[in-house]
Amino acid sequence: MEIPDVRYARTRDGVNIAYQVVGDAVMDLVFVHGWIHNIAHVWEFPLLAHYYSRLASFSRLLLFDRRGVGLSDRVSDVPTLEARMDDIRAVMDAAGSNNAAIFGSSEGGPTAALFAATYPTRTTALIMYGAYAKGSWSADYPWGETTRRVRTYDQRYRRGLRQTAVRRRTAREGHHDSHINHHRGGRYTMNAPASITITPVRVADLLAEGERMPVYVHVIDHPDARVLVDTGMTELHPAVADLDPRLRPLSKQDFDLAGIDIVVNTHLHFDHCGGNHLFAGRPIYVQRRELDDARSKDDYTIREWVDAPGVRYVPVDGELELLPGLRLVPAPGHTRGLQVVVVETGGRPVVVGGDVAVWFGELDEPHTEGQLRVRALDPELVWLAHEHEPWRPRHEA
């Protein structure tokens, strides 16, 4: 797509505003963009170029970069709405436009509305698209974003940058074949764009309050390593006889024990670390606080399963990027040292949560710090140790 000529208009306070005139229909249409914009680069995006071309098919479209943005002059402060409004006037004057339909998109909405109210005779129509009065929450503006939400967005943008890096890397390395999809639970296998695969494997059932509760471990097939999250249990023990465990240990399943490179324990309750001895010599990542509690607190777990011969822990203090796109994140609540595994998928993350919630209701209405933290990640799904299906957020508008 050819880039229309870029011209400059000068505002009353001396700022140079870059603009373009596209199309030659009778009606003038001024497009007031939101957030970021660059009138040269927008034509390189087929979707945007198509969008503007369609608008210009029935109008004389005036496109501009507002002050501080794109090809227009930089400014030192956050400009007032009045100053931004003068960008529109300057462009219209320079383009010989007496009156125009003013199209305010997103953050451009308030500026467009102020222009229409200030210059009614120069405004033939006001169009608001995805616009809002302001961004931040206040008592009289409950639709605004709270500081907490803004922080979440910020984290999402940062994650987005990291995802791009992961995707580039996996694209270079080519498709990675999964060898575990045939395992039980494989029907739940989800293939993420970054070819990180998560497969639940059922290793036991326990009797809890009269009902059978499954125990799952999760295999994360990452291009760089195969990671096992929790290890279930492999034998009976008098301390937990009342739970009437029925076992399907990994060592008795068609499961490639040698293929596991890294083990992560979400926490060290007996039904999560009972198979650690199968992975002696391989690194087992656990939060230091969890390890300390398991070794020092009474009735916490079955201690000989924690420190079985040859088991080697890598204590972690806080968050850790274990592999590209795969993070360990503390999620205290069920235990003080509980951690979850956050997997970047190219979209919303997937979480392997262990017992961050023992049943779905605990994530529907989060209470613990860990549950709140997991919800703040806005995950697509959360795998839990004691549920057959992954938890998904209820659809939000």
In the complex, the residues that contact Zn ion under the rule CB under 5 A are 269, 355
Could you tell me if 384 and 356 are in contact, meaning their C-beta atoms sit under 8 angstroms apart?
yes
Min dist CB 298 to Zn ion, Å, is: 16
Q: For Zn ion, which is the closer residue by CB, 68 or 232? A: 232
Which residues have a Cβ under 8 Å from the Cβ of 56 and sit 6 or more positions away?
A: 22, 23, 25
Q: For Zn ion, which is the closer residue by CB, 111 or 287? A: 287
Q: For Zn ion, which is the closer residue by CB, 197 or 266? A: 266
* Assigned token pair, 118: 């200030």
Q: For Zn ion, which is the closer residue by CB, 248 or 269? A: 269
Beta partners for residue 355, in sequence order? none
**Number of Cα atoms under 13 Å in the Cβ half of residue 17:** 28
Listed in sequence order, the DSSP H helices in the chain are: 46-57, 81-94, 108-118, 147-173, 270-273, 288-296, 303-306, 361-364, 369-376
Min dist CB 268 to Zn ion, Å, is: 9
Q: For Zn ion, which is the closer residue by CB, 42 or 384? A: 384
Q: Do strands 190-191 and 197-208 pair parallel, antiparallel, or not at all (unpaired)? A: antiparallel
Environment class of 21 (CB within 10 Å of its CB; exposed 0-12, middle 13-18, buried 19+): buried
Min dist CB 210 to Zn ion, Å, is: 19
Q: For Zn ion, which is the closer residue by CB, 218 or 269? A: 269
Min dist CB 250 to Zn ion, Å, is: 18
How many other C-beta atoms are found inside a 10 Å radius of the C-beta of residue 23? 19
Min dist CB 386 to Zn ion, Å, is: 9
Interatomic CA distance for residues 130 and 48, integer angstroms: 16
Min dist CB 267 to Zn ion, Å, is: 6
Residue whose Cβ sits closest to Zn ion: 269
Q: For Zn ion, which is the closer residue by CB, 87 or 290? A: 290
Min dist CB 299 to Zn ion, Å, is: 13
* Assigned token pair, 16: 């140079």
